[in-house]
Chain A
Amino acid sequence: MIKTHNLTKIFPRSTVPALKEINLEIQDGEFVSLVGRSGSGKSTLLYLLSTLDTPSEGDVFYDDINVKMIPQEEIFKLRNKKIGFVFQFHYLLQELTAIENVLLPARKAKELSQRRELSLRLLDEVGLKGFENRYPSELSGGEQQRVAIARALIMEPTYLFADEPTGNLDSQNGQMIIDLFDKINREKGTTIIYVTHDKEFAARARRQISLADGALL
């Protein structure tokens, strides 16, 4: 469960807060979309929820533990084991093959051999069976994004955060990604929180959180 208390973010050199006193609760297993116009603070909220960013004021709680109280090394472990990320730009490491990219988090967790089988299964699930040894430059944008999703799932995280995962894709590929999220959420029970400005994609989530000018609507 993720909970926020008066979450506020003011960027340096800015007087207007990007987020104002957000109070929010997301239960485990939810399928949530964050929507709003650009500048509404939806991405900012996503990164604050995901521990990558730190709030100016207020707190984020993971299972009632304040993130501020968690030591650095534990935060790194939390990101590694409990959290998966998908970004708008697919952010694969160009020097590594698809399967090596998928296994990167397992490498950090020193669970490389245990996770190898899972990595093959995940690539199969995202429809990339047989693409394991291709380099990112040999994959299309949609395929790269699906590799990134497989990578986000390799540690079987509790939470999956996605920042405009369809933003850089055509509608067909975008549709495929959202379908995949839906399936993962249903089958694995992973909490999925994604940011999108596409109304149609946002509607696919079982809960929509709308933001405007840094506040919940």
Chain B
Amino acid sequence: MMFLSLRHLLARKKQSFLILLGITIGTAAYVSISGMMLGFQNFILEQLVNNEAHIRVSAREELLTKDSLKAFPGVMHVFWSLPPSGRKDSSKIEYPMGWFAMLDQDQEVAAYSPQVVSQVIFTQSKVTRTGRIIGSQFERQMKVTNIENYMKIGSFRDLGNSGNRLIIGSKLMEQLGTRLSETLLISTGNTAPQPFKIVGVFETGIKGIDETTAFSSLVDAQKLRGRPSEITDIAIKLFNPNEAQIKAEAWKLSSTDKILPWQESSASILSVFKTQDIVRNSMTIAIIIVAGFGIYNILSILVNQKKRDIAILRSMGFSPSDIIKLFFNQGILLGILGGIVGLFIGNIICHIMGQIEVVPGRMSGPGNKMIISFDYIIYIKAFSIAVLSAIFSSIIPARQAGKLEPMEIIRSGGQ
């Protein structure tokens, strides 16, 4: 019946073209909008995943509850020499050696970096700024995050393993009014200020980080804090970032330390993505529904117009299923053709959008161009939506045509 379906379509070129246009626009819209949004999302995700640890283990944060007193079994009243604050946090990871031993063994862990993170006051002559200093071993830190990519001046290696060297965020350096190779004082508040020499500058593009953060070697940060050999954080990189949540849940069972996978630390951004996806999908669905109704309408009218043809075909021995195919094929052909053309047009639009220059900053990719995703999944989805909508919208009129009895058509005079 494909022959006759084709002839039907070609006999009504204008109508067929208009329907085709609807499906094509729907498919192209899905491809280009998804390309743009997913391109942006993937870029942000990549940054989230690679700039920070996949999983961050940090010192325990725990509220004091009724259950906390069960540490004193059989005791009715507990008196404190110094009343507790309602929390029993820890300021360090209790047993880092255990963590290291486990992480070294774990096949899914790509790298880890022990850190000392402390809140500090940066002082340069009369200017002071609060912020945080992250002490780490540079080889390990470079394996866990891609900080090296954000180095504006110098290399992250310049930190060395000791010697009070500092790599500072670009905005923080600006605010302190200092520059490379100058020395500034850093204090944790509890200990005497110590001088650090700036050996490098980084810029991630994220204001909150560039304005507050500086890196030092692990040893120097421990000395600054006055507690050598303690660490406060372990940044962990996995081979597969998507496993982070599952991994974190598993570790939580055997540790009282705080364990945070990146999905949780960037939950707010991920929820924005979800909203974006809803908008993107509902827009496309709306377009496709319109195109689907187009197919449905045209085919319903066609079936009505072609009742005589149906009668004559049936009298020649064509079966009801042949008649169904006659009309169903037309819908499917429009769906497939519209889908393919839509994919091409969508792809072209994506390429054009990829050339648009945007304001330099976090949202722009290499060369300050807009980032577009060309993920093949988008194209598979777009095509399936086009074909599925064509199937759904042509099945009803086609089945109606199949149910028509030739005698009824002839008796009613063919109209």
Q: Which residues from A are CB-within-8-Å of B309?
A: 91, 93
Q: Which one of A104-112, A119-127, A182-190 contacts B?
A: A104-112
Whether A91 contacts B317 in the complex (CB less than 8 A), given A96-B7, A108-B322, comes out as no
B308, CB-defined interface residue at 8 Å: yes
Bound-complex Cα distance A87 to B410 (A): 9
Evaluate contact between A80 and B317: CB separation under 8 angstroms. yes
Bound-complex Cα distance A42 to B377 (A): 63
Evaluate contact between B322 and A85: CB separation under 8 angstroms. no
Q: Which residues from B are CB-within-8-Å of A78?
A: 317
Interface size bracket, A side: 20 to 34
Evaluate contact between A52 and B406: CB separation under 8 angstroms. yes
Evaluate contact between A108 and B317: CB separation under 8 angstroms. yes
B311, CB-defined interface residue at 8 Å: yes
Whether A76 contacts B318 in the complex (CB less than 8 A), given A52-B406, A89-B414, A95-B8, comes out as yes
Q: Which of A77-110 contact B (CB under 8 A)?
A: 77-81, 83, 85, 87, 89, 91, 93-96, 104-105, 107-109
Q: Which residues from B are CB-within-8-Å of A80?
A: 316-318
Evaluate contact between B316 and A47: CB separation under 8 angstroms. no
Nearest B residue to A151 via CB reads B316
Bound-complex Cα distance A25 to B313 (A): 28
Q: Which residues from A are CB-within-8-Å of B248?
A: none
A28, CB-defined interface residue at 8 Å: no
Nearest B residue to A54 via CB reads B407
B352, CB-defined interface residue at 8 Å: no
Nearest B residue to A85 via CB reads B315
Evaluate contact between A85 and B407: CB separation under 8 angstroms. no
Q: Which residues from A are CB-within-8-Å of B314?
A: 52, 79
Evaluate contact between A79 and B312: CB separation under 8 angstroms. no
Evaluate contact between B316 and A52: CB separation under 8 angstroms. no
Q: Which among A81, A104, A109 is the interface contact of B313 at CB below 8 angstroms?
A: A104
Evaluate contact between A76 and B319: CB separation under 8 angstroms. yes
Q: Which residues from A are CB-within-8-Å of B317?
A: 76-81, 83, 105, 108-109
B interface vs A, CB < 8 Å? 3-4, 7-8, 10-11, 308-309, 311-319, 322, 406-407, 410, 414
Cross-chain pairs A/B with CB under 8 angstroms, 23 sampled? A47-B410, A52-B407, A53-B407, A72-B319, A76-B317, A76-B318, A79-B317, A83-B317, A85-B315, A87-B315, A87-B410, A89-B308, A91-B308, A91-B309, A91-B312, A93-B4, A93-B309, A93-B312, A95-B10, A105-B316, A108-B316, A109-B317, A163-B410
A interface vs B, CB < 8 Å? 47, 50, 52-53, 72-73, 76-81, 83, 85, 87, 89, 91, 93-96, 104-105, 107-109, 151, 163
Interchain residue pairs A-B with the least CB separation, the first 8: A80-B317, A79-B317, A95-B11, A95-B7, A91-B312, A85-B315, A105-B316, A76-B317
